[in-house]
Amino acid sequence: MRVAFVDLIFSWPPNGGADVDLYHVAQGLQAVGHDVRVFVVHEADSYERGRVTPDALPFPTTRLDCSRRDLRPDRLCRRLAAAVDAWRPDVVFIQHGFALKPYVCEALAHHRTVARYYAHELTCARDARRFREGKPCPKDYLRTPDFCRACALEGQRRAMCSWRLNTWNADYLAARAYRPKYHARLLASLRTVDAVVVYNSMLKDDLTGFHYRVKVIPSGVRVADYEDLPPPRGLASDRAVILMSGRAEDPLKGLDVLLEAGRRLREHRRDFEVRATHCDPAVSADWFTALGWSDHAEALRLYAAADMVVVPSLWAEPFGIVAVEAMAAGKPVCAGRIGGLRDIVRDGETGFLFEPGDATALARCIERLLDDAPLRERLGAEARRVARDYDWDRIIERHYLPLLEELVRA
């Protein structure tokens, strides 16, 4: 088949998990014989939108160069539709995008289309995190548009007044998503696509009643990268190592919860240390090390040196790639029971789940693993086995190939 991917933000090297997902799905479908092309919008002088060199990518890529002034729905959609139509795809995946995405769905509705959503873009008009006043927000833009519209304006007022706009703010203004009638347009755009793909079962439940074909397709890893890993140089330890990987400086990732759990454990034991990929070494202590930023190769070595991995997220992570990476490395995972993490970590089998923000519960999970080395080994072995389901080859085979067949038969 001829499979097009249309993305309003894609950059490589990646800015985030959505970029990594597109890269591997496009590469994987191409590897099994499909004709693939990526169409990406590049905004001049933007580090967020379309920062790609087409010739450096392993799949054909069409980059549509534009200025911010060109990012009006009518201009943007005319250019995208013309480029995609000229290539004549069998299926179009409409990938990452914010408030402009409904217009793109409508402009490409004459194709078989799949809308891919990576976070809470459909249910949170504020910032796609659906997190407010220190906890996951119970409101939902699909069902409570008036409340969420006011919340979004409140959250973006400073950026809009100063005209210091990131991609989310710029798209919000360009799409005029602050208008009441935008909600109706969003709902109508969902009806134009043939399938919707999300990361986890919670996001699928959010779409109950709004689309008849919603698929949960996780992201993935290259499991082979995590086998026979050497430990990092200069970080040897005779204490059990508890690792927190990812953007630890982001408050929503829950480092404070892990530190509080560590303080409670330190009141009666000294046989562990905590390491986190936090950018500020000033937060280090005798039992906590801020490792700074790590690239992929260094992250692999950090997993090799860890005895367990903690993912203490406070918000509803759409996926939770750190948990999968840790499992691929054969490490038990302690994670918040929220978002995609509750789908990934099997409580008592590949690690433990605890209530988000509960440092006492996290300390208990960690202590169980500290006190029982055979349990760590057993959970880690099962984690490695389960992680094979997240290998990119299996993701393509089990999810994307059946979806393509289903769409062309429909």
* pLDDT exceeds cutoff 90 at 232: no
pLDDT, position 238 = 84
Mean local confidence (pLDDT), 295-299: 87
Average pLDDT over residues 330-359: 97
Q: Are residues 6 and 119 in the same domain?
A: yes
Whether pLDDT at 153 is above 80:
yes
Q: Are 72 and 174 in contact (CB under 8 A)?
A: yes
Q: Same domain for 332 and 404?
A: no
Are residues 137 and 199 located together in one domain of the fold?
Answer: yes
How far is 317 from 310, CA to CA, in rounded Å? 14
Instruction: Clarify whether residues 306 and 202 are in a common domain.
Output: no
Give the residue carrying structure tokens 């930023």. 293
What is the structure's pLDDT at 271?
A: 95
Q: Decide if pLDDT at 348 tops 90.
A: yes
Rounded average pLDDT over 347-376: 97
- Say yes or no: 195 and 245 in one domain: no
Task: Specify whether 211 is located in the same domain as 237.
Answer: no
Write 388-393 long-range contacts (CB < 8 A, 24+): 388/223, 390/218, 390/219, 390/220, 390/221, 390/223, 390/324, 390/327, 390/328, 391/220, 391/221, 391/222, 391/223, 391/224, 392/24, 392/28, 392/220, 392/221, 392/222, 393/28
In this prediction, residues 250-275 reach a mean pLDDT of: 96
**Domain CATH number, residue 366:** 3.40.50.2000
Centre a 10 Å sphere on the Cβ of residue 349 and count the other Cβ atoms it contains.
14
10 Å CB burial of residue 319 (0-12, 13-18, 19+) is: buried
The pLDDT of 384-388, averaged and rounded, is: 97
Percent pLDDT > 70 in the chain is 99
172: Cβ–Cβ under 8 A, 6 or more apart, which residues? 98, 99, 125, 152, 156, 178
pLDDT of residue 235: 66
Chain segment 65-106, per-residue pLDDT in tens: 999 889 999 999 999 999 999 999 999 999 999 999 999 999
Residue 66, beta-bridge partner list: 43
Report which of 305, 345, 312, 353 is spatially closest to residue 329, judged by C-alpha positions: 305
Residue 199, pLDDT > 80, answer yes
> By residue range, what is the domain housing residue 360?
223-390
102 and 7 share one domain: yes
Please indicate, yes or no, whether residues 209 and 181 belong to a single structural domain of this protein.
Answer: yes
pLDDT digits (tens, 9 = 90+) for 263-286: 999 999 999 999 999 988 778 888
Beta strands in 35-183 (DSSP E): 35-43, 61-66, 91-94, 112-116, 131-132, 135-136
Q: How many domains does the chain have?
A: 2
Higher pLDDT among residues 286 and 51, named by residue: 51
Helix boundaries (H) for 32-94? 73-87
Residues 208 and 287 in one domain: no
Q: Does 129 share its domain with 246? A: no
216 and 197, same structural domain? yes
Instruction: Compute CA distances 363 → 166, 207, 226, whole Å.
Output: 38, 35, 27
| Mean pLDDT to the nearest integer, 377-382 | 96
The angle at the Cα of 223, spanning 220 to 228, to the nearest 5 degrees, equals 155
Average pLDDT score, the chain:
94
Same domain, 41 and 181: yes
Mean pLDDT of 231-246: 81
CA distance 49 to 8: 7
Neighbours of 388 (CB within 10 A): 13
pTM score, whole prediction: 0.94
